[in-house]
Amino acid sequence: MAVTAARLAVRRGTFWLEVDELFADASGTALVGPNGAGKTTVLLALQGLLPHAGSVARPGRCAGVFAQPAFLRGSPRWNLATVLRSTLGMDERTADRGAAAALRLVGLEEATHGDARKLSSGERQRLALARALVLEPEALFLDEPFANVDAHGRCMLREVVNDYVARSGCTLVLATQTLADVAALCDHVVLLDRGRVVESLGAARLAESAQPYLRALVSEGGPGLMPGRTRPNLRLMPGEGLEP
Amino acid sequence: MLQIASLSVGVSLAATLVAAVFALGGALWIVYGRSRLRYVLLVIFNAGLGLPPVAVGLAVAFTFWRSGPLGMLDILYTPAAMMLAQTIIVTPLFGSLAVIALRAVDPTLRDQLAALGVPARTRLRLLARETAPGILASALAGFGRAVAEVGAAQMTGGNIEGQTRVLTTATMLAVGRGEFSVAFGYVAVLLGIMTIATGAAFVLQRRWQ
Amino acid sequence: MCGWFWTRVRGCSEAPRHEQEHRAKSGRDGAASAWGARAFAFLVAVLLGSTLSASAAGPAVILATTTSTQDTGLLDVLVPAFERASGYQVKTIAVGTGAALAMGERGDADVLLVHAPSAEEAYMAKGRGLARWLVMHNGFIIVGPAGDPAKVAGVGNAVDAFKRIAASGATFISRGDDSGTNSKELEIWRAVGITPQGAWYVKTGSGMADTLHVASQKAAYTLTDDGTFLSQRATLSLVPVLQGVPDLLNVYHVILVKPLPGRVGNLAGGRAFADYVVSPTGQRVIATFGQDKYGRPLFTPDAKPVH
């Protein structure tokens, strides 16, 4: 099911955001723009966490990843299991098994025990992603989800998200500063600046845009990196795959 | 001795538990509420830290002795009066420490759990669980203050043998009678109680970490 | 139930030891909170019970008395004996004669047991007492350092003894706390005709035993009651320098407080206590108190009703 917004207006303190319309589905919509443009605000409003004017529609089961993930007092595994039990009403055994599997998925097997709050920033982002995916949501709202993860991990995690979206048809809304994220996961790009939508276009046409921010975004990726969903050089190295 | 020690613990523990209701309620309002009045409460909590316990004892005694405004209730010189005085003494300390404990929780945690579809009641429970070690430490500080207090306990309880004699007032009486070894005995038990309470809190916090 | 990502990770089965560990931990947590709830309920019950346990005969009887009757331990024997005999519950508040009389004036006590005759007479003159009866007596003693620098020993009365102490400049410790002993001490100074002040006159504001210890430390003189001195003697370096003279008599009376209208109180219980301490039974308790511990009784019973 898609995520849509119509005549969305949000006020956060002195910051005003106005989005005429927004549409996202499994093809992936990226929100890009400079800091303070309103990317996080849009994500929060779409998830119903901020009071807003206008209408927002989203599926029943959503999951969000915040830029600064926060966890409960307990092990990573316990954190995931608790979310499974609380949201999906799973029993303990199944929730625990699901938690363990999700940790393996994002490469956090070693960090199963110990306090989740003591993880490094990269590990926290992996855990936050695992926490969102473990629910098998119908819509994913990701806020700069890979910013602190190492390069190898970033590739792996993008692949994980990609895979999930492909199999489940989950809607993806992704706020990011990184072209590689856009390239791997999104077919549409929405450029925000100072609370307004400046441009909305297909990812394949990013290179043609006149917008300075988008040009900067594209040039950062380096030559040969063209937006598009399935890119050979974004797959994992042979032998590292999670695919059997 | 056992009777005196258990009364000490019982009265102070009950006072801490009752104070918890007011302290936690107040702390939750201060941290999560919206009215501007909550800062008045915060100031009251912080000012209450400097409140001399003996002043509280005098005020309670003054209110509840037979010639006082609430004398008809006849509760002075009972454990209940002692508990009342101790509750008043403990609440500001417990409350201001609880505010610190609540503020230590990540403010976005509530939203992040909501973003994952965690239902509101469960969110509340989980957030409460997050604050538990800090709240426990606050409760322990409050209990320590209550159980070690002597001035208010003497004035509101009267140090009546078998009824309102607690470790602190019994110590003062023993010293007044020159029975120093007995006094040291009471003090040792008091220290023992504090050690056990602190130790128990420490163990619980370790288990929760 | 294995979702899409579970199939990706080499099958669904999990290491069982993690599961058991997890289950055991939550079991302990559950037990702890149940125990905590039970302990709390027990505490509340105990507290409520002790508060509401006013005796069947009405509210408790509040006895306001002096620290010396409590410090000697007499009340630890006398009050329980009365409670057993009468069924009343007594709350003994030992605050010192001045405070006890003030409590009686306010109606905060039902019966008083004090030892400051002039203050008591003033109290009765105000009409705040229904009855005042002589209960017992013992003696005050002047104690001092073994060397007796003021040469008090051998003097025939307390007034001359105090005169000598003041003249010699030896240190004198006063309780300064409006107690019966302090009242007596000030009475003697009035008879001497001087107001004691200066570096040699030290006020402790404390109970008798504390004051004796201070005097012992400073090798000073002080006025004490017989009973407290006996009980503290072993730890003191003081010796009696004057005792047994008529103006060192320490007389205790029981006063039945006249209730104020509209106040909680237990007149019947107060009257029962006053009757008890002057009754042959009560007097016998007083007469034998201290015998086994000190070899002689600490008080001499003298009851005869005086109005």
Inter-chain residue contact A102 with C5, CB threshold 8 Å: yes
Inter-chain residue contact B111 with A49, CB threshold 8 Å: yes
* Average per-residue pLDDT for chain C: 80
pLDDT at C23: 38
Which residues in chain C touch residue B160, judged by CB atoms under 8 angstroms apart?
Answer: 91-93
Give the confidence band of C256 by pLDDT, cuts at 50, 70, 90: very high
* Greater model confidence, C21 or B21: B21
Tell whether A173 lies on the interface with B, counting CB pairs under 8 A. no
Contacts of the segment B170-173: beta carbons below 8 A, 24+ positions apart:
B170/B4, B173/C70
Query: Taking 90 as the threshold, does the pLDDT of residue C126 lie above it?
Result: yes
Query: Taking 80 as the threshold, does the pLDDT of residue A170 lie above it?
Result: yes
Closest chain C CA to residue A104: C9
pLDDT at B124: 85
Inter-chain residue contact C106 with B67, CB threshold 8 Å: yes
Q: What gap in Å lies between CA C60 and CA C221, rounded to an integer?
A: 41
Instruction: Report helix, strand or coil for B27.
Output: helix
Inter-chain residue contact B78 with C46, CB threshold 8 Å: no
Question: Where do we find the tokens 């404990």?
Answer: B101
* Average per-residue pLDDT for chain B: 89
**Among the partner residues B111, B116, B130, nearest to A83 by beta-carbon distance:** B116
pLDDT tens for A122-157 read 999 999 999 999 999 999 999 999 988 888 889 889
Nearest chain B Cα distance for residue C285, angstroms? 19
Give the confidence band of A213 by pLDDT, cuts at 50, 70, 90: confident
Q: What gap in Å lies between CA C91 and CA C61, rounded to an integer?
A: 6
* Greater model confidence, C19 or C8: C8
pLDDT at A144: 93
pLDDT at B60: 93
pLDDT tens for B60-104 read 999 998 888 888 888 888 899 999 999 999 999 999 999 999 888
Which residues in chain C touch residue A94, judged by CB atoms under 8 angstroms apart?
Answer: 1
Query: Taking 90 as the threshold, does the pLDDT of residue C227 lie above it?
Result: no
pLDDT at A242: 40
Inter-chain residue contact A96 with C22, CB threshold 8 Å: yes
pLDDT at C120: 92
Distances (CA, A) of B142 to A137, B17, B85, B139: 45, 10, 13, 5
Query: Taking 90 as the threshold, does the pLDDT of residue C272 lie above it?
Result: yes
pLDDT tens for A27-40 read 889 999 998 888 99
Question: How would CATH label the architecture of B2-208?
Answer: Orthogonal Bundle (1.10)
pLDDT at C34: 52
Give the confidence band of A62 by pLDDT, cuts at 50, 70, 90: very high
Q: What gap in Å lies between CA B155 and CA B57, rounded to an integer?
A: 6
pLDDT tens for C143-155 read 999 888 888 888 8
Mutate to test the interface with A, among C8, C10, C17 (most CBs of A within 10 A): C8
Q: What gap in Å lies between CA A168 and CA A162, rounded to an integer?
A: 10
Query: Taking 90 as the threshold, does the pLDDT of residue B192 lie above it?
Result: yes
Helix runs in chain A, H state only: 39-46, 76-88, 92-105, 121-133, 151-168, 179-185, 212-221
**Among the partner residues A44, A48, A131, nearest to B116 by beta-carbon distance:** A131
Mutate to test the interface with B, among C43, C61, C63, C112 (most CBs of B within 10 A): C43
Query: How big is the A-C interface in CB pairs under 8 Å?
Result: 41
Model confidence, pTM: 0.76
Nearest chain C Cα distance for residue A77, angstroms? 10
Query: Taking 90 as the threshold, does the pLDDT of residue C307 lie above it?
Result: no
**Among the partner residues A62, A68, A73, nearest to B117 by beta-carbon distance:** A62
Q: Are C64 and C112 in contact (CB under 8 A)?
A: yes
Q: Nearest to residue A77, comparing CAs of A111, A106, A107, A121?
A: A111
pLDDT at A222: 58
Tell whether A44 lies on the interface with B, counting CB pairs under 8 A. yes
Inter-chain residue contact B178 with C263, CB threshold 8 Å: no
**Among the partner residues C44, C51, C206, nearest to B78 by beta-carbon distance:** C51
Query: Taking 70 as the threshold, does the pLDDT of residue C305 lie above it?
Result: no
B108-122, C131-145, C286-300: which has the minimum mean pLDDT? C286-300
Inter-chain residue contact C6 with A242, CB threshold 8 Å: no
Inter-chain residue contact A87 with B129, CB threshold 8 Å: no
Q: Are C128 and C265 in contact (CB under 8 A)?
A: no
Q: What gap in Å lies between CA C150 and CA B51, rounded to an integer?
A: 47
Average pLDDT over residues A200-205: 86
Inter-chain residue contact B67 with C260, CB threshold 8 Å: yes
Q: Are C173 and C216 in contact (CB under 8 A)?
A: no
Q: What b/e readout covers C28-44, taking b as 16+ CB neighbours within 10 angstroms? A: eeeeeeeeeeeeeeebe
Q: A142: which DSSP letter?
A: E
Tell whether C17 lies on the interface with A, counting CB pairs under 8 A. no
Q: Which two tokens stand for residue C195?
A: 């107001």
Average pLDDT over residues B32-56: 89
Q: What b/e readout covers B54-88, taking b as 16+ CB neighbours within 10 angstroms? A: bebbbbbbebbbbebeebeebbbbbbbbbbbbbbb
Mutate to test the interface with A, among B116, B118, B135, B208 (most CBs of A within 10 A): B116
Give the confidence band of C47 by pLDDT, cuts at 50, 70, 90: low
Tell whether C22 lies on the interface with A, counting CB pairs under 8 A. yes
Tell whether B208 lies on the interface with A, counting CB pairs under 8 A. yes
pLDDT at A231: 39
Distances (CA, A) of C255 to B22, C9, C76: 44, 90, 20
Identity at B127, one-letter amino acid code? L
The structural domains of chain B, with segments of one domain joined by +, span: 2-208
Mutate to test the interface with B, among C50, C79, C213 (most CBs of B within 10 A): C50
Q: B55: which DSSP letter?
A: H
